[in-house]
Structure 1
Amino acid sequence: MLTDLKVNKPTPIAFSKTLKSFKRDTDIALTIENLVKGKPILIKDFYSDGMALLKDLHTHLNLKLPNKSFIEQQAYRSEYFKLSNLILLEVTDQKLSAKKSPSIGWLEKFYPENNHFFLTFPQIQGLNSAWQWYKNGVSIPVLRNKMHPYYGTYFPTRFEHLSLFDNWLKHYSGAKKSAIDIGIGCGVLSLLMVQHGFQKVFATDINPNAIFALSEFMGNTKLSRKIELDFGNLFGKWKNQTELIIFNPPWLPETHNINSIDNAIYYNKTLFPDFFEAAKQRLAPQGKLVLIFSNLAQITNASQEHPIETELADGNRFQLEKCYKKSVKKASSKTKRDQYWRSTEEVELWVLTNM
């Protein structure tokens, strides 16, 4: 299956000799003016020059845009994304050309035959961070193990929702012959189910990198015989009924055009109706449907509608067995964002059964 998949990776930008460059003594105001006009800027001398320019860009945007409410922060990030992605770095022979650049293994892994191209500075930052996580691993407390997330694959940085699910699994007394995990990300929920005795987990994701990641993590171990992967939307090719269906969907409604990584964060209008319709066909009569969600959309005023509550009220397919909630830890004092809503944020674990 993996031979048919293509990894999601930043698209190389063709070489051009007409780019304006930036270094420490370049006029900052003129450089940002060029960015605002949509003109790309090349970081040619030192990698740190790009870091300095990004800092100056934040200063510029902080003077221009409010950045307090959740909606304002989304607008700020959108503008920063647009301008910062006009800042380019040159890649030559799978290495960054700028002096004192980080060594990023993904460049060699993803672009073995492309010896000269550009990527944007944020793309390079993303590749660099992802390489460190992949190389060094990320500790997942409920697994008592490290994951090595692949580039472009969602992995948890907060664990309250995982603790909720782990605790629920400890008390689960139903059949454990099979389960379906929708949207695996880096695979934590599937691994937890195997850890708690499920004989077979059928897992899907619409991100090919998630399939690559978990397949590589499992290798030829016993896990690879217990977790079967499919690259596909929602239930993919899995048609048979099962005792347990797990879904940790995005927690925020889509408000703008999103990329593949954002699919783990934002949901569109059809996601939940499509999911519940398909889940009804695949949940065994005495089975359980478990969704991991949050009140994030409501407390940030992104939406007043709760898609699970809407389904229970209007869907006539499932009934509520139990909803467990857990408060989220306060935001780190080191964060620069005003995350006032974290004091009222709760993660939720919804257990539904057939009507």
Structure 2
Amino acid sequence: MKLDIEVNKPVPFVFKQPLRVFNGSTNVKQAIKTLEAGKPLLISEFYSNGLLLLKAIAVHLKSKRAHTTFQEQRAYRSEFHKLSKLILIQITDHQLTVKKAPSIGWLKKLYSETPNFLLSFVQIQGLNSSWQWYKNGIVIPVLRNKIHPYYGTYFPTRFDHLVLFDQWLSRYEGPKKNAIDLGIGSGVLAFQMLKHGFQKVFGTDTNPNAIVGLTSFIEDTKLSRKIELDFAAFFGKWEHQTELIVFNPPWLPTSQVINNIDEAMYYNDKLFPEFFVEAQKRLLPNGKLVLLFSNLAQISGLTTSHPIVKELAEGGRFQLANYHKKSVKAASDKTKRQQPWRSAETVELWELTLN
């Protein structure tokens, strides 16, 4: 089934003048100065030259600034993004022109009418990683089958909150006629609910890639009769009341304008108040509202406010039925990113009912 929804994808670069080239003989320090001056560089000869330049930028930035706290790491990533997006690579006939480059199916799938263009090297890395996940699938511990996330769609890389939700579902004794999953993403929570006996799940998402990807994934399968999707915010076209509403909202606050993929990670100050108003209308009198959250924003110093605690104290719409939490597993010894706050992080499951 073809959806009349335009997916989000990297926008090709267009330059009228010749670009400066970065290859194996280019002076790396001079190349970084070029990037810091806001001038792009085109990777040539080998794909590995792009990797070399990215590594050099990372070393350069870490030598300039502290890299320990959450805020410092955020500042580093912002500066790294600013410079790395100026590193470009050529695509011709939907293939990378440099030697020893990966073959990326998204280049033809997403740009079928544009065979020749430029993208940033980090965008190509993202497309390549996404293609491998999409093609090979990803194992999620709480599911029987792999998921195949579409490009630009959020999928979990940590599973503590999913385990918490799975344990809650195993204890749930209410009706299982239907449920609503807000921000369905790659469909993990919906698949969990179906695994535990729910007959129908209605899912919404503001990310077109999530809707297009899930539609493609479930079409021509039994899942297409059990999952119904809507490209919309909050509850979209569904006005009916339900016995279960599930929401795994973003865990970090932001004061900036955010794009669709970032909406899976960051929330603005309107998200939770508007959600709780709409959720009150959609929940059956004896229904359950389940939110999966984390204390990450509090322990990392981004805010002292907890949006669910605030709603319970001030909203007058819901009351707490159950609360469960689980300590987050320590970061892998293999990770290069320092995360000292992880020892204090917990994921949370909030079960609310109507007042």
Q: TM-score range by the shorter chain?
A: over 0.9
The residue aligned with 1:350 is 350
Once the two structures are TM-superposed, the CA of residue 260 in structure 1 deviates from its matched residue by: 2.0
The residue aligned with 2:62 is 62
Single out whichever of 255-264 and 54-63 deviates more from structure 2. Answer: 255-264
Separation (CA, whole Å) in 1 of partners of 2:334 and 2:16: 39
CA contact (8 A) 2:251 2:294 kept: yes
Once the two structures are TM-superposed, the CA of residue 29 in structure 1 deviates from its matched residue by: 1.5
Once the two structures are TM-superposed, the CA of residue 329 in structure 1 deviates from its matched residue by: 0.4
The residue aligned with 1:81 is 81
CA displacement, residues 197-222 of structure 1 (integer Å, 9 cap, x when unaligned): 11111100001111122112212222
Separation (CA, whole Å) in 2 of partners of 1:160 and 1:200: 25
Once the two structures are TM-superposed, the CA of residue 17 in structure 1 deviates from its matched residue by: 4.3
The code of the aligned residue for 2:106 comes to W
The code of the aligned residue for 2:26 comes to T
SS at match of 1:303: coil
The code of the aligned residue for 2:324 comes to Y
Once the two structures are TM-superposed, the CA of residue 63 in structure 1 deviates from its matched residue by: 1.2
The code of the aligned residue for 1:62 comes to K
Separation (CA, whole Å) in 2 of partners of 1:311 and 1:168: 22
Separation (CA, whole Å) in 1 of partners of 2:208 and 2:66: 37
Separation (CA, whole Å) in 1 of partners of 2:87 and 2:220: 42
The residue aligned with 1:99 is 99
Once the two structures are TM-superposed, the CA of residue 16 in structure 1 deviates from its matched residue by: 3.8
CA displacement, residues 191-245 of structure 1 (integer Å, 9 cap, x when unaligned): 1111111111110000111112211221222211111000001111111111000
Alignment of 1:209-224 (within 5 A): 209-224=209-224
Separation (CA, whole Å) in 2 of partners of 1:68 and 1:255: 23
The residue aligned with 1:71 is 71
The code of the aligned residue for 2:275 comes to F
SS at match of 1:102: coil
Two-structure CA RMSD over aligned residues (Å): 1.1
Tell me whether 1:187 sits opposite 2:187 in the alignment. yes
The code of the aligned residue for 2:173 comes to S
The code of the aligned residue for 1:27 comes to N
Separation (CA, whole Å) in 1 of partners of 2:328 and 2:5: 37
The code of the aligned residue for 2:94 comes to Q
SS at match of 1:143: coil
Alignment of 1:93-132 (within 5 A): 93-132=93-132
SS at match of 2:292: strand
The residue aligned with 1:153 is 153
CA contact (8 A) 1:8 1:152 kept: yes
Separation (CA, whole Å) in 1 of partners of 2:204 and 2:259: 18
TM score, norm. by length of structure 1? 0.98
Separation (CA, whole Å) in 2 of partners of 1:346 and 1:38: 41
Q: Which runs of 5+ in 2 are unaligned?
A: none
CA contact (8 A) 2:108 2:115 kept: no
Separation (CA, whole Å) in 1 of partners of 2:79 and 2:150: 27
SS at match of 2:246: strand
The code of the aligned residue for 1:290 comes to V
CA contact (8 A) 1:15 1:116 kept: no
Kindly report structure 1 stretches of 4+ aligned residues shifted beyond 4 Å: none
Alignment of 1:190-209 (within 5 A): 190-209=190-209
The residue aligned with 1:249 is 249
Tell me whether 1:134 sits opposite 2:107 in the alignment. no
Once the two structures are TM-superposed, the CA of residue 97 in structure 1 deviates from its matched residue by: 0.8
The residue aligned with 2:258 is 258
The residue aligned with 1:312 is 312
Separation (CA, whole Å) in 1 of partners of 2:222 and 2:272: 33
CA displacement, residues 268-316 of structure 1 (integer Å, 9 cap, x when unaligned): 1100001000001111111010000000001111111000000000000
Separation (CA, whole Å) in 2 of partners of 1:257 and 1:285: 36
Once the two structures are TM-superposed, the CA of residue 115 in structure 1 deviates from its matched residue by: 2.1
Once the two structures are TM-superposed, the CA of residue 258 in structure 1 deviates from its matched residue by: 2.7
The residue aligned with 2:275 is 275
Single out whichever of 254-263 and 331-340 deviates more from structure 2. Answer: 254-263
The residue aligned with 1:298 is 298
SS at match of 1:319: strand
CA contact (8 A) 1:154 1:186 kept: yes
Corresponding residue pairs, total: 355
SS at match of 2:3: helix
SS at match of 1:269: coil
Separation (CA, whole Å) in 2 of partners of 1:169 and 1:316: 26
